[in-house]
């Protein structure tokens, strides 16, 4: 067996170890990634100290690039949520559309809200409003629930500053502004298309109320507490769009300057952009929250960030070990033919993402692990790395089920049975993954 194939075998074993520890021994994903990194480095010939050095360097480099931005992004989102600003944005989006498009607007509202906040927070904020709209339109439960899941899942997966898309530019080494631009455009299109496809399936008798809704649950939608006189939608959206505008400033500047002036490079840096966005969120939240409440919100956000940072850093460690072994070239030589290199790379990234999401239940693990494996491959083919990121992340959208916390949050809050959860959460995200994949394939061949 050749050296390239042996590296592939080692990688498969390392991934099996990581997945086995998560699935069968219920070990934390971050710990499992470190163990898999140790195995991969040692058997691939990096040596004991070399492997440890590679793990430390990979973790440190990932935290250097993403630690502060992820933390700031989570604080920003929670301030907007707790102050009632997120609810104002959702109401504004829905109220500006006709009755015919109301369910699409709730999906787009979920897309906008899930850019700064996590998926589950966006779902909890929107579900009472969505259920009420569904009743007014005389539409069954899966219509509003599915629309929220689709919009929130796509934005959380594709648009920074949530961890996966934020990590993409660092892992695959391209401009974060491009990730924001492509993620927003592709995500917005995919949201509308996926909702239309999902509604088409529902219109064909896919939903069975008797078996898919849990009639025993009382008030499953909870009580959304919105502060009195929350910030207006226009005010609340400023902290969301400000970081994106600043980061895109650097991308636009590179068009006009051979090298961006120092002030543009400074202002467009992800740390500065998200710092200013977070400061803006503090001012916006001041309309309904005092200083102590805002500080408590920031502290709660940082507690929630800890596990995300640990998984992200461990993924960086695993990726660094993989790159050190030279396996990226082995993958390129074995799996990617010269004649179909672009399509092969995209499909390989997509199906790896599907595998990791299905087994681990974590879109973060799926996206970061896949992108780290694919990082070196992009250098060997004529494809912009943003499309490799989109393929990896679209795979990570696929097939969330009972081992995914998001599945249980949406199922229980919406008052569904497990079967109903599969028909909403699993099916809608699977459609979304395929839609994003198709757009990615088209985009990779055009741009």
DSSP character string of 143-200? HHHHHHHHHHHHHHHHSTTSHHHHHHHHHHT--HHHHHHHHHHHHHHHHHHHHHHHHH
Of the candidates 287, 274, 275, which has an alpha carbon nearest to the alpha carbon of residue 84? 287
Q: What percent of the chain has pLDDT over 90?
A: 17
Say whether pLDDT at 111 is over 80: yes
How many degrees, rounded to 5, is the angle at CA 221 between CA 216 and CA 224?
A: 150
Of the candidates 307, 323, 445, 316, which has an alpha carbon nearest to the alpha carbon of residue 384? 445
Helix (H, G, I), strand (E, B) or coil at 311: helix
Is the peptide bond between 161 and the residue preceding it cis, with omega within 30 degrees of 0? yes
Q: Return phi, psi of residue 275, to 5°.
A: -65, -45
Of the candidates 7, 20, 4, 25, which has an alpha carbon nearest to the alpha carbon of residue 321? 7
Residues 11 and 8: their CA atoms lie apart, in Å, by: 5
The CA–CA distances, whole Å, from 322 to 163, 319, 330, 356, 447 equal: 21, 5, 11, 16, 29
Say whether pLDDT at 92 is over 90: no
Q: According to the model, what pLDDT value does residue 305 have? A: 75
Residues 79 and 293: their CA atoms lie apart, in Å, by: 10
Segment 406-422 mean pLDDT = 79
What's the pLDDT band for 187 if we cut at 50, 70, 90? very high
Say whether pLDDT at 77 is over 70: yes
Both structure tokens of 243? 């970081």
Q: What is the mean pLDDT of the chain?
A: 82
Q: According to the model, what pLDDT value does residue 188 have? A: 93
253: CB partners within 8 A, 6+ apart: 260, 261, 264, 268
DSSP-H helix ranges across 24-114? 29-43, 48-82, 85-95, 102-113
C-alpha 216, offset from chain centre: 33
Say whether pLDDT at 127 is over 80: no
Max avg pLDDT among 25-39, 87-101, 181-195, 255-269:
181-195
Say whether pLDDT at 442 is over 50: yes
Of the candidates 425, 423, 440, which has an alpha carbon nearest to the alpha carbon of residue 208? 423
Say whether pLDDT at 328 is over 70: no
Of the candidates 237, 225, 193, 209, which has an alpha carbon nearest to the alpha carbon of residue 104? 193
pLDDT tens per residue across span 222-242: 455 667 788 888 888 888 788
Quick one: the chain helix, strand, coil %, rounded to 5? 80, 0, 20
* Number of C-beta neighbours around residue 197 at 10 A: 16
292-313 burial: b if 16+ Cβ within 10 Å, else e: ebbeebbeebeeebeebbbbbb
Of the candidates 435, 424, 355, which has an alpha carbon nearest to the alpha carbon of residue 396? 355
Residues 126 and 147: their CA atoms lie apart, in Å, by: 10
Residues 192 and 29: their CA atoms lie apart, in Å, by: 33
The CA–CA distances, whole Å, from 105 to 28, 89, 126, 226, 268 equal: 37, 11, 11, 20, 31
Q: According to the model, what pLDDT value does residue 224 have? A: 54
Residues 164 and 367: their CA atoms lie apart, in Å, by: 6
Segment 210-223 mean pLDDT = 62
Of residues 72 and 199, more confidence is placed in: 199
Both structure tokens of 154? 């796509």
**CB-based contact 73:166 (threshold 8 Å):** yes
**Locate tokens 């040596």: which residue?**
47
């Amino acid at each position: 067996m050749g050296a390239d194939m042996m590296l592939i075998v080692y990688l498969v074993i390392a991934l099996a170890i990581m997945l086995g520890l998560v699935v069968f021994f219920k070990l934390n994903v971050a710990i499992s990634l470190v163990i898999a990194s140790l195995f991969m480095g040692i058997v691939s010939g990096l040596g004991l100290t070399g492997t440890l050095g590679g793990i430390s360097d990979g973790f440190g480099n990932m935290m250097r690039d993403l630690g502060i931005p992820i933390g700031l992004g989570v604080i920003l989102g929670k301030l907007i949520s707790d102050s009632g600003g997120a609810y104002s944005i959702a109401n504004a989006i829905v109220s500006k559309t006709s009755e015919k498009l109301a369910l699409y607007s709730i999906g787009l509202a979920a897309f906008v809200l899930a850019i700064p906040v996590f998926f589950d927070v966006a779902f909890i904020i929107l579900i009472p409003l969505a259920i009420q709209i569904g009743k007014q339109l005389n539409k069954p439960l899966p219509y509003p629930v599915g629309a929220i899941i689709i919009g929130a899942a796509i934005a959380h997966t594709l648009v920074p500053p949530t961890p996966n898309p934020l990590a993409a530019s660092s892992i695959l080494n391209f401009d974060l502004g491009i990730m924001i631009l492509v993620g927003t455009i592709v995500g917005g299109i995919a949201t509308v298309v996926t909702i239309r496809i999902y509604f088409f399936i529902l219109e064909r008798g896919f939903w069975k109320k008797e078996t898919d809704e849990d009639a025993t649950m009382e008030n499953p939608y909870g009580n959304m507490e919105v502060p009195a006189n929350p910030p207006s939608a226009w005010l609340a959206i400023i902290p969301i769009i400000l970081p994106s505008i600043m980061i895109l400033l650097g991308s636009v500047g590179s068009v006009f300057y051979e090298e961006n002036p120092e002030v543009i490079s400074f202002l467009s840096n992800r740390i500065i952009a998200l710092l200013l966005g977070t400061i803006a969120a503090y001012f916006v939240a001041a309309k309904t929250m005092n200083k102590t409440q805002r500080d408590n919100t920031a502290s709660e956000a940082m507690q929630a960030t800890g596990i995300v940072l640990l998984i992200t850093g461990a993924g960086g460690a695993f990726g660094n070990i993989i790159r050190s072994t030279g396996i990226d070239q082995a993958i390129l030589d074995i799996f990617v033919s010269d004649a179909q290199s672009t399509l092969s790379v995209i499909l390989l990234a997509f199906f790896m993402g599907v595998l990791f999401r299905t087994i681990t239940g974590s879109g973060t693990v799926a996206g970061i692990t896949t992108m780290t494996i694919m990082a070196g491959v992009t250098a060997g083919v004529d494809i912009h790395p943003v499309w490799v990121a989109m393929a990896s992340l679209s795979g990570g959208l696929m097939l969330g089920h009972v081992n995914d916390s998001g599945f249980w949050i949406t199922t229980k809050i919406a008052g569904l049975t497990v079967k109903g959860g599969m028909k909403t959460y699993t099916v809608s995200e699977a459609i979304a993954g395929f839609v994003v994949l198709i757009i990615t394939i088209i985009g990779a061949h055009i741009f």
